A and B are shown apart, each in its own frame.
Chain A
Amino acid sequence: MTPAHFAFSSAFMLGLAGLAFHRTHFLSALLCLEGLMLSLFIALSLWALQFDTMNSAALPMILLAFSACEAGAGLALLVATTRTHSNNRLQNLSLLQC
């Protein structure tokens, strides 16, 4: 395990813990998701750079496009949730538990 591997792994795990354990706002959850994607971007780039594979250098770009898509869908859901649930607290999403 190299220092870079440790750094992006712990960054990913931190983002995952933040997403899983304590979220008050919808937007902070989305930001945590973006943090996950960012650490994945860095991981993919570092893999392509350290293992000297030219082909894999295109993967982080596609990842960026996909994470933009996810963020877009998430923000659209934020708008939809704010319309139906009147604010963006995640605790409001309690209609379906019974």
Chain B
Amino acid sequence: MAPFVYSTLIISLGLGTAMTFASTHWYLAWMGIEINTLAIIPLMTQNHNPRAIEATTKYFFAQATASATLLFAAVSNAFLTGGWDILQINHPLTSTLTTLALAMKIGLAPLHSWMPEVMQGLSLLTGLILSTWQKLAPFCLIYQIQPDNPNVFITLGLLSVIVGGWGGFNQVQLRKILAYSSIAHLGWMILILPFSPPLTLLTLFTYLMMTFSLFSSFMLVRTTHINSLSISWAKIPTLTASVPLILLSLGGLPPLTGFLPKWLILQELTKQDLAPIATLAALSSLFSLYFYLRLSYTMTLTMPPNNPAGTLPWRLNPQHNTLPLALTTTTTIFLLPATPTILALFTF
């Protein structure tokens, strides 16, 4: 892709998200989301193979439908209440419709099925953009609508946690596993949104860190399948030590950063007298933990049954800039002792 075209697309990606962030009018927010969708389409089809084209098509249809529904909900709200303000979407029908449209945009559980298939067709870098940057604009909108009735959010969140665990259960494709893990994490965020919005932001922050480091590690060892993870020790030995920690942090085990949002969310849910829901969410994240564990197992503990020289893949010296990966890996692993500081940062 020509550098000018590439920079235009990247600028438009930034422009769309910034427009949605800055807007108070539904129409401008919709415009930002549309610009965002249009700008990522050529990035997805950078190499014109049939899988990339198919993934782009599926992404395009899902996003176009979702954004049309979003605008329809905004217009209906304007007809019913007379206002276009984002914070003013308080008619029950339109606020539910908006929530569903945004859930489809970020891929929450009943409307998630485009997400794994789209991720499967993309390169890891585009997948990283899709599962981090592209979530921000819809997430900013879903953060701003405050429904009277939290049941929609609880249902979406709980279903996402369950589906995100269950869907990745039997997968061997890394990108699909990453997509399901993204669904599960977004489920946790949506689950806590009606009760404690700062916790949602905290979860989003940790999710961005962990996803970035996991995607960068897989980019560095160039694997998209669980089998080829087992020879990553031969490519970059240090990553072999740190990737299982990142994975377990995603799964939410105690001494790592990933435990922080889950802990606080479960505590908050219990405070709100929702202990059964908290239990269900915690139990279904065991599914996710299972496939993270399987990935760690393949990566660190298995060795192919042939001689070492045969397993070494031929490769060039990696030219990646590993500084961002080092930073995010550190935050992914070591941030739990700083819990009070982080809480103070996010609860203002």
Chain A positions within 8 Å of B, measured between CB atoms, are: 2, 5, 9, 12, 16, 19-20, 26, 29, 33, 36-37, 39-40, 43-44, 47, 51, 56, 59, 62-63, 66, 69-70, 73-74, 77, 80-81, 83-85, 93, 95-98
Contacts and interface: CB of A to CB of B under 8 A. Distances in A.
B41 A80 contact: no
Nearest to B61: A29
Contacts of A74: 60, 64
B268 interface: no
Nearest to B116: A96
A93 B57 contact: yes
Contacts of B79: 2, 5, 43, 47
B51 to A, nearest CB: 5
B60 A73 contact: yes
Interface string B55-68: 11110110011001
Query: For B31, B61, B173, B176, which residue has the most chain A Cβ atoms within 10 angstroms?
Result: B61
Given A12-B72, A43-B72, A96 B120 contact: yes
A29 B57 CA distance: 11
A83 B45 CA distance: 13
A37 B117 contact: no
Contacts of A59: 27
A63 to B, nearest CB: 8
30 contacts: A5-B76, A5-B79, A9-B76, A12-B68, A16-B65, A16-B69, A19-B65, A20-B65, A33-B61, A33-B64, A36-B72, A47-B78, A69-B34, A70-B34, A73-B38, A73-B60, A74-B64, A80-B53, A81-B54, A84-B49, A84-B50, A84-B53, A84-B54, A93-B57, A95-B50, A95-B54, A96-B54, A96-B55, A96-B118, A98-B176
Interface of B: 27, 31, 34, 38, 41, 45, 48-51, 53-58, 60-61, 64-65, 68-69, 71-72, 75-76, 78-79, 82, 84, 117-118, 120-121, 173, 176
B117 to A, nearest CB: 4
Contacts of B57: 26, 77, 81, 93
A38 B54 CA distance: 26
A46 to B, nearest CB: 8
A62 B56 CA distance: 25
B151 to A, nearest CB: 23
Contacts of A16: 65, 68-69
Contacts of A39: 72
A26 B48 CA distance: 19
Contacts of A62: 27, 31
B54 A85 contact: yes
Contacts of A5: 76, 79
Given A44-B75, A66-B31, A73-B41, A33 B54 contact: no
Given A5-B79, A36-B68, A85-B50, A77 B34 contact: no
